[in-house]
Chains A and B, each alone.
Chain A
């Protein structure tokens, strides 16, 4: 189903439509097929206007069995379309889906009387179409999805060419499989064309997106190539130390492909070794990166403290998922913000940035690398399962459009009076980066508190306070180099402001734009920089009568905002492992607006 979804998505994107996707699959690799737990879904929102979310409710659902119908029917709009594979509704599948023995087939018993139902014998038609293919039953069964894709392409009047080309590339060495897939795809199309069960065909024109060259991108892909781009622009080698964890592993997979560009990936023995190897690499002058999700972040905290006190650059990427503990590995949440802010012992502030959408993962991590390298500080980049796996069209930049990243290794003694001072700072509070191998500047660094400037071990009480403040000031000064914040939608002053961060961007933007259209005096500000905040944030927030902070947590940004700016902001919180719907946000804005 994931493959079918991807193909439909890529075709839509290629035709210039705007898209937003949300794959949803079980935590188990092969959860029992036919059961509710085993439903693997792919949600796609496409159209000829700008789209910011995968959508709240479905217009069309394709269900291959009874379990899928059970899971997805609640979110189908009244009057919506159900395309059902009838053989997925036999007694065996009904039982697997957990219907009682006495239950009747929902395709037949009037359950779906408020919907347009298209019953297709997908399994049978696929078998018939491929009976001479020479393939075994199991392989033929696998082509069912292509048949359905063919039907959908017909229904939405989309060309099959893009998918056929993809299949040719994918199965170049397996001609019999290739032919079977193409046959199944075309049979699906012909089925739509020849049978008269469908009364309507839909045509979508291209969306009015800004002119330019686009590609499709998922959040984790955006993150991976953002890291490569930043390393290249900084002139550094990229080193990733990582340990497999859902939903972050794809970044490791993606970066492991770039051997031709000298990218070094190291699959460590655990999360701690992953970050520690990246610290070792950063110490030698590489762009050190570690990628993980919540449980891994918890394990890395001590090493983050080391990187912080060493004052070396390091990129720590947390693709958040539902917690605590193992929690909901494949579901999304924004509940690691306070951990990113405070989850280390001692006084240990770190800069934090968060990505707002799949494509924004590229921009946000690029910005994070620039901060980390130019300020000699580890940085935490937050994404989450929703945007990491979701995809959207991306008007990608060219190399020369990317901001320069200035890295200069120090090779000269900075102390005319004596020995090199590894912790002597510049005006931004930034210490020099000297890599081992630099003659004459040999020095030792470590996790013990250091004497100011010399970096020698110091237990002096006043020195500790000085160093604690210097490290905090360095992070605070980053605010001087980040852009001032302005509303994403709406004006500088309004009755209600919706303040968001991270992956809630699409749902908030959609809701706010709709309400502005309808005449509401509302605005949307979305934060990329969570520590430090943009310098003008406090001033700007005071321009709004009411502030709503929607978060997929119990109110973490809300706490930060209230504590810092002493504002009576209000939260909208969802902890269901699922992103907000636009409707949920709309409803809350209206209720605050009218209160």
Chain B
């Protein structure tokens, strides 16, 4: 008998292996291009077989994402990606499930599914492209749009209080929250990698510029002139430092953050050292914008705010089945059909 030995050595995949044959149809200059590129760049290094990846999305510009990935994927219906992705992961925990959504899709029409997904913690990686606007429906304000924004549906300015996605996710018990931005590819790649390494629902908010309906809303965080003053990149175990020449920092006074100038006796030793496992401090980070006053303007934090290792629902469902099966053998179908009490008619 002839034995055929197959070459089983893993073939190194490249970004091209994750790129589908479909033409990408986002607007020129859209921040989504960068996100797609970073995901396709990072995925080959994560190991794992391509056929095990499933990208699930809802509806909106961001949700076209799965069509451009050469993995399995489903472009579903508005707001429901968390429920569909949860079904995929629970039914087959072996799959590597990623979810792509936008601020309208995930926090407005899908808000209910979003909070429940956070509390259940399925092992799914969630990327929310936040452009603070409805793009695909051509420019209405979204649940993350800043109050007062003038859009097609708010010609006199929006009167809606926006959601703060970080605060909402933490309040809904997310086990991982990170924020990144479309124009910082390196940081985004790092955040995608961190999300991938997290065991549980990893929620990554990506600030994404919509060049057509909300152009420049995040430019203060991306342009050279303002970036260093307006952004603070947090890293576990490192002090919170920012500013043009890294000359500023954040100090905690009780639960209140304060902006301090380094020097004059204030050193990095005095600053808040970021701890990704501290939920109270994660909430404070999430609320930086709320602490700002006209004379004290807090920078916007980027990075992993919080992470926590806690059980995932997909594993718990599987484990519960195993526990029951260990005590109680599978009931034969004939026994299920007959039930416990039968009688015979002759």
Contact = CB atoms under 8 A, between A and B. Distances in A.
A483 interface: no
Contacts of B217: none
Interface residues of B, number: 62
- Majority secondary structure of chain B interface residues (helix, strand, loop or mixed): mixed
A16 B76 contact: no
B345 A281 contact: no
Nearest to A233: B333
Contacts of B325: 259-260, 262
Of listed B74, B89, B94, residue having the most chain A CB within 10 A: B74
Contacts of A288: 87, 91
Contacts of A225: 336-337
B344 A266 contact: no
B333 A228 contact: yes
A13 B343 contact: yes
B67 A280 contact: no
A262 B88 CA distance: 16
Interface stretch (B78-86, B177-185, B222-230, B232-240): B78-86
A414 interface: no
Contact of A264 (B90, B112, B344): B90
A213 interface: yes
B89 to A, nearest CB: 8
Nearest to B109: A272
Contacts of A10: 341
Interface string A191-234: 00000000000000011011111111100000001001100110
Interface in A293-347: 302-303, 305-306, 310
Given A264-B91, A264-B321, A288-B87, A437 B51 contact: yes
A306 B59 CA distance: 12
B56 to A, nearest CB: 7
A457 B75 CA distance: 10
A214 B343 CA distance: 5
Contacts of B331: 258, 260-261
A14 B90 contact: no
A215 B341 contact: yes
A284 B88 contact: yes
Given A273-B116, A444-B72, A436 B20 contact: no
Nearest to B59: A447
A10 to B, nearest CB: 7
B112 A437 contact: no
A279 B73 CA distance: 13
Contacts of A279: 76, 84, 87
Contact of A457 (B67, B69, B329): B67
A397 B92 CA distance: 31
Given A284-B95, A397-B337, A214 B80 contact: no
Interface residues of A, number: 75
A398 interface: yes
A211 B345 contact: yes
A436 B54 contact: yes
Interface in B67-121: 67, 69-77, 80, 82-92, 94-95, 112-113, 116
A445 B55 CA distance: 10
Contacts of B89: 280
A179 B126 CA distance: 58
Most buried by B among A206, A280, A283, A440: A280
B7 interface: no
Contacts of B27: none
B293 interface: no
A449 B334 CA distance: 44
A262 B22 CA distance: 39
A442 interface: yes
A287 to B, nearest CB: 10
B321 to A, nearest CB: 5
B84 A284 contact: no
A438 interface: yes
A516 interface: no
Q: Which of A210, A302, A396, A444 has the most CB of B within 10 A?
A: A444
B220 to A, nearest CB: 36
Contacts of B329: 260
A239 B333 contact: no
B80 A273 contact: yes
B75 A446 contact: yes
A213 B343 CA distance: 6
Given A239-B90, A276-B84, A280-B84, A229 B56 contact: no
A269 B116 contact: yes
Contacts of A259: 320-321, 324-325, 328
Contacts of B83: 241, 268-269, 272-274, 276-277, 280
A438 B50 CA distance: 10
Contact of B330 (A261, A306, A398, A435): A261
Contacts of A16: 343, 345
A276 B75 contact: no
A280 B85 contact: yes
A280 B117 CA distance: 14
Given A262-B321, A446-B74, A280 B330 contact: no
B245 interface: no
A452 interface: no
B309 interface: no
A496 B265 CA distance: 102
B337 A396 contact: yes
Interface string A554-582: 00000000000000000000000000000
A362 to B, nearest CB: 9
B303 interface: no
A285 interface: yes
Contacts of B334: 398-399
A286 interface: yes
B31 interface: no
B342 interface: yes
B320 to A, nearest CB: 6
Contacts of B54: 436
Contact of B338 (A213, A268, A269, A436): A213
A276 B112 contact: no
Contact of A444 (B74, B77, B90, B330): B74
A282 B74 CA distance: 12
Given A212-B345, A281-B87, A399-B337, A438 B51 contact: yes
Contact of B92 (A278, A285, A398, A443): A285
A439 to B, nearest CB: 5
Given A260-B330, A436-B52, A437-B95, A277 B22 contact: no
Contacts of A264: 90-91, 317, 321
Contacts of B67: 444, 446, 457
A87 interface: no
B86 A260 contact: no
Contacts of B332: 399
A4 interface: no
Interface of B: 20-22, 49-56, 59, 66-67, 69-77, 80, 82-92, 94-95, 112-113, 116, 317, 320-321, 324-325, 328-334, 336-339, 341-346
16 contacts: A216-B339, A229-B337, A260-B329, A266-B87, A268-B83, A269-B83, A273-B82, A273-B86, A277-B87, A280-B88, A280-B91, A281-B90, A283-B87, A399-B333, A440-B51, A444-B69
In order of increasing CB-CB distance, the 10 nearest A-B pairs are: A280-B87, A446-B75, A277-B87, A276-B83, A281-B91, A273-B83, A436-B72, A259-B324, A269-B116, A280-B88
Given A272-B113, A276-B80, A396-B338, 6 more contacts: A273-B116, A285-B92, A286-B92, A306-B76, A436-B72, A446-B66
